[in-house]
A and B are shown apart, each in its own frame.
Chain A
Amino acid sequence: MAIIEVHQLAKHYQVFRKNAGWSASITGLFHREYHTVRAVKEVGFQIERGEMVAFLGPNGAGKTTTLKLLSGLIYPTSGTATVLGYIPWQRCNAYRKRFALVMGQKNQLWWDLPAQESFILHREIYDIEPVPFQRRLDELTDLLEVRQLIKQPVRELSLGERMRMELIASLLHSPEVLLLDEPTIGLDVVSQRKVQGFLRHYQAEQQMTVLLTSHYMKDVEALCRRAIIINEGEIKHDGPLADIVDRFSSVKQIHLQFAGNEIPVDLERYGKVIDQVPPRVKLEVPRQELPTILAALLDRYAIEDVGVQERPLEDAIAQLFSQKSSDQ
């Protein structure tokens, strides 16, 4: 049975449109022009228990609005959605005790107090027994390597440390569904990897259902097998992540290392040179012509090393977004 079911879900906003300048400001006192933004347009998808799904799209695509709908923060304009059998925007406590939403780094923690105080408040709010609470807190603080920081005021923590505390606060009540909106945004590489590694481990262990939005493709590749791609409020792809490269990337990359310190000057006839640091070159070639071009290169030049790679996921997704936008 699907844990998250979304049918024909739409959310439209009325947005005030104002021109620049004094006269527009004064006119705006008496008459305002509104236009309708269709943030989410009749989307539909299902997510099974224990799945970790990437929810991708450019800025303004409708990702965060969809997460807000699924967490019950806002009401839809039309359509239906159920999570764990509940309608999110009815905001019943039984549902709120079974899911968590992580959105940004200043969400649930008391800014001036140590995170420990917020965790104790969460224990009472979510009615968690003291023994399992302490066990879970110890486990989470160890996994995220912040045990020694929980007695320090939140405002004195770094961004990465705060994000990890937010994750702990969200997971203390063992939610069955976790909605993650850009969990690694603004973090340094070390913190990104810690959060990523933790999510992978914890999700596999707890069999949580996770819907993750991220612009950081390393997160997506490391954590998710399935991706839903949304753009301009509509779903453009729903399927295995690997299919995105196959479906939307018509090129492959050849990485060459030539003998000696020089690179040939006529490589453009074989494909597009996307990077060159002599004696190494990266060529992008049409997928179906790869065997012919590779054979010709090996035949004609003295090559010491060769490798063939798929186009990076972010490139494929970026192309997908730009194609779809220009199509419209």
Chain B
Amino acid sequence: MTRMTSTMRVKWCILRTSIEERLVYRADFAFATLVRFLPIVTQVFLWGAVYDATGPDDTKVINGYTFGDMVAYSLLVMVSRAFSSMPGLTTGIARDIRDGAVKKFLIQPIDLLDYLFWHRVAHKLVYYAVAFFPFVFVFWLCRDYFHAWPDSITFAGGLVSLLLAFVVGFLIESLMGLCAFWFLEVSSLVFVYMMLSYFLSGHMLPLDWLPEPYARGIQLLPFKYLAFVPAGILLGKYDHAQLMIELLQGFLWVIVLFALNRLALSRGLRRYSAYGG
């Protein structure tokens, strides 16, 4: 019990200290937070142009999505990506491995992944606190594109899927960062991942637009939890039974990715040479 309390106190202290650190560079932080809303404006214009090109009718449907559905989908994808994107996580881990800063996690009684997780939670909490009202404003502006408020089970499932998006996003990017124990430099890996995840997560296009058998294959990967699944749940595209299956499959991916992270960390530390003096 005492040990558990002590562990929780460490996590809380990491979280609190990370929040304080995040608030140091106020101007940069506020700018970065607000600029993230720009892509949604361009996406609305882009989809507007696509739907206009297919005809003047406002009820025109492409692959089951009206223009309004596409705007609603894009907005929910933006929310999902606010949970699942981890800017700087992979490159930060790689830099710490390369320049030796990772050694503080080896000499202190603290776990590297645990520390990184709570550090990232802190970053996200500060981001949501600042971005909450801009998000509300954007959703209010686009309120006509949403058909109805989801029922309570679907809404709860949507919230769980957003948390899954955060955990899956964290575990994928930390796993890539840990590859630096072998490669030292992982920027190419990050570039490839960003390109692939933009497509495979459903950020670029809804995944149910893809033809078979590609759609079925992509649905088996963990990337859909980064954007497509949370957006789909909140748009009411899954019935309750499908929702539970999707969430269960997501939890299985968390277990697999967590195990891979642990394996990479333990193997990586064995070959670590403590560079940087």
Contacts and interface: CB of A to CB of B under 8 A. Distances in A.
B272 A74 contact: yes
Contacts of B101: 106
A83 B206 CA distance: 58
Q: How extensive is the interface on chain A, given as a class? A: 20 to 34
A121 B17 contact: yes
A196 interface: no
Interface stretch (B102-110, B146-154, B165-173): B102-110
B41 interface: no
Interface string B97-119: 00001011011111000000000
B9 to A, nearest CB: 5
A110 B274 CA distance: 20
A97 B109 contact: yes
A68 interface: yes
Contacts of B110: 125
Nearest to A73: B274
Interface string A110-128: 1011000110110011110
A13 interface: yes
Given A113-B17, A121-B17, A93 B103 contact: no
Interface residues of B, number: 25
A64 to B, nearest CB: 6
Contacts of A113: 17, 20-21, 24
A121 B108 CA distance: 11
A107 B17 contact: no
A110 B24 CA distance: 12
B130 interface: no
B107 A71 contact: yes
B25 to A, nearest CB: 8
Contacts of B142: none
Given A125-B108, A127-B6, A103 B277 contact: yes
A125 B17 contact: no
7 contacts: A13-B273, A73-B272, A103-B103, A113-B20, A117-B17, A120-B17, A125-B13
